[in-house]
Amino acid sequence: MPAGQSVAMNGTPSIALVGLGEVGTSFASALLDRGVELKVASRASPRAAASAKRLGIDVDEDVARAASAADVVLLTITGDGLRDVVARIAPVLRERAILADLTAADPPQVIAAADMLGANRARFVDVAIMGAVSLHGIRTPLLASGEMATDFAQTMNALGFSVSAREGSAVGDASSLKLLRSLFAKGLDALVVESMLAAEALGLREELIELLGDFDQRPLRDHIDMYLRTHPPHAGRRLVEMELAEAQLTSLGLKSLTTRATIDRYRHTTDLLRRESAPPPADAAVAVQWLLAAERAAADKNKS
């Protein structure tokens, strides 16, 4: 398909949705409200049956039959079923159709699934869900990668979705970015819980939240830049401070989990600094490159 040519260019696309869990049910409801020609496939389960009854639709247990006439096939199944479902859809996928993977499969599994389309691999789009579908429905931010990511975004955004396409991206990029986002966001989640537990135990939770108000004064990008820039030169001092914080935590009878991981990170960086002769950089972009090079050099030395 020529670049920029959407599958929806001649009208509203027909859509097949595979999987009727939380994501599939939410998307199906919104698509039906928009009058989209929709076929839904799902393995038999009490949850799928309940969702189908609530939506007033029939569900086909034959995935290939449901997908065979669709312009866009949305996979909203669990990641462990991805390759099996793609194997059944691949032989019947229409010439100009798009197969969009919205599972939470890891990048190698996503790439392997795309490879199953053979010469038609370009029709596979890797889509990462970047928010809570239960809160935002079809307006949940979606990130698409692959040769036809832009076509997919144009088609779905015309139906009310919120899809961003990465130009020049490959299948696996969106899934990788989702995991990287999880590394940051879920790590922050764990850190918030551990610090707030300690604050609650001391009766200081509201006071701590107020003291953290300075984080609201600058964009997140500025905070990330600051941490990268200052991490190498201040790792040693921060290590001592976090050891004291851990002592306070354990004195309250609380487990040191994310705090222990933070201590390990600072100790690891101080070890890297002792091995490297060059002084720590003072620029965020250079700092992260310096840290990555030092990590790789240390890993290579440990292998030898």
Say if residue 64 is exposed, middle or buried (CB neighbours under 10 Å; 0-12, 13-18, 19+). Answer: middle
Q: What residue has token string 């949705």?
A: 17
Cβ atoms of 40 and 17 within 8 Å: the answer is yes
Per-residue pLDDT 10s for the chain (304 aa) are 344 444 544 578 999 999 999 999 999 999 999 999 999 999 888 999 999 999 999 999 999 999 999 999 999 999 999 999 999 999 999 989 999 999 999 999 999 999 999 999 999 999 999 998 999 999 999 999 999 999 999 999 999 999 999 889 999 999 999 999 999 999 999 999 999 999 999 999 999 999 999 999 999 999 999 999 999 999 999 999 999 999 999 999 999 999 999 999 999 999 999 887 666 667 999 999 999 999 998 898 888 7
Q: Classify 99 as helix, strand or coil.
A: strand
pLDDT given at position 167: 84
pLDDT given at position 152: 97
Give every strand in the sheet of 98-101, ordered side by side.
Answer: 59-60, 38-41, 15-18, 72-75, 98-101, 124-129, 141-145, 162-165
Strand partners, 144: 127, 165
pLDDT given at position 208: 97
- Both structure tokens of 158: 């015309």
> In terms of residues, how long is the chain?
304
